[in-house]
Amino acid sequence: MAVWKLQRESIEPGGPVLKRQAYEEVRVYDGVAERTGVQFARSEVRRSSGHCASLSDFLRKARAAGEGTFYMPLGTWPADTQRIELRKPWVVMS
């Protein structure tokens, strides 16, 4: 079931163009982020502390929080990627 919310894309002289805005749930556990497949309307998640406007915003919040549930706009998640490793191993330079 897809939940959609209309959001104003731009205000041009011809009038506003409305687009659908849905968010998908992303869970972060033990330094790994994975999509859950659950979708929400923007109005349901916009005041949540896990609301993210972009992938970089998500990465910043997920690294700061450590673990939790976050919400990203549909289409923001990288294509052909199942999971994102948030922690990178240290490389020793000698």
33-80 tens-digit pLDDT: 999 999 998 888 888 889 998 999 999 999 898 899 999 999 899 988
pLDDT tens column, 46-57 = 888 899 989 999
* Cα 46 from Cα 77, distance rounded (Å): 18
How many domains are there within the chain? 1
Report yes or no on 68 lying in a domain: yes
Q: What is the average pLDDT value for the chain, to the nearest integer? A: 82
Phi and psi angles of residue 57, each rounded to the nearest 5 degrees, phi first:
-65, -40
The pTM of this model reads 0.72
Question: What range does the domain containing 69 cover?
Answer: 22-85
Per DSSP (E only), the strands in 21-59 are 22-29, 32-41
Report yes or no on 59 lying in a domain: yes
